[in-house]
């Protein structure tokens, strides 16, 4: 699995490294997918949604990450903190809260295996986090 550096405009950049993907043997139609998302200083993701079936838990590994799901207040998380997103959530803020330090988080998806190619879709249908461990799959 290779890291994907996503640079969609001068402000938006992140590195996404797939670290784990496996069907959950005792839960029908669900897989666990884990990604490390690294934001450079001032980096952020576009406004996005995740696969419709995806329940996501994020654990901050380093730095400070600001996150906001539509309808909720923006929150800031430091190393060791975690947060979750329910299926269907609209993620309106996901960014490094620091202009000087790198930040990273482990994002764990519980998702229908048939939706693994839709893990994250930016508003306007531009995909951010395609599966990078499948030959021939393009971002």
The pLDDT profile of the chain, 139 residues, written as one tens digit per residue, is 555 544 444 555 789 999 999 999 999 999 999 999 999 999 999 899 999 999 999 999 999 999 999 999 999 999 999 999 999 899 999 999 999 999 999 999 999 999 988 898 888 754 443 333 333 333 3
- What CATH number does the domain containing 23 carry? 2.60.120.10
Phi-psi region of 82 (alpha: psi -120 to 50; beta: other; left: phi over 0): beta
CA distances from 23 to 3, 129, 132 (A): 21, 19, 17
Q: Which residues, in sequence order, are CB contacts of 135 under 8 Å at separation 6+?
A: none
Domain range for 99: 4-127
Alpha-carbon torsion (61, 122, 87, 16), positive or negative:
negative
First to last CA, the chain: 14
Number of compact structural domains in the chain: 1
pTM above 0.85? no
Asked whether residue 139 is domain-assigned, the answer is no
């Amino acid at each position: 699995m290779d890291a994907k550096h996503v640079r969609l405009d001068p402000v938006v950049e992140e590195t996404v490294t797939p670290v784990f993907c496996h069907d959950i043997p005792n839960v029908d139609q669900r897989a666990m997918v884990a990604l490390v998302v690294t934001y450079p200083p001032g980096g952020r993701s576009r406004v996005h949604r995740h696969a419709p079936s995806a329940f996501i838990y994020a654990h901050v590994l380093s730095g400070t990450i600001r996150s906001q799901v539509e309808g909720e207040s923006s929150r800031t998380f430091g190393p060791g903190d975690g947060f979750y997103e329910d299926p269907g959530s609209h993620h309106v803020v996901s960014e490094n809260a620091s202009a000087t330090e790198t930040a990273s988080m482990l994002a764990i998806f519980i998702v229908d295996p048939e939706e693994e190619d839709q893990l994250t879709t930016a508003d306007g249908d531009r995909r951010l986090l395609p599966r990078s461990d499948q030959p021939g799959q393009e971002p």
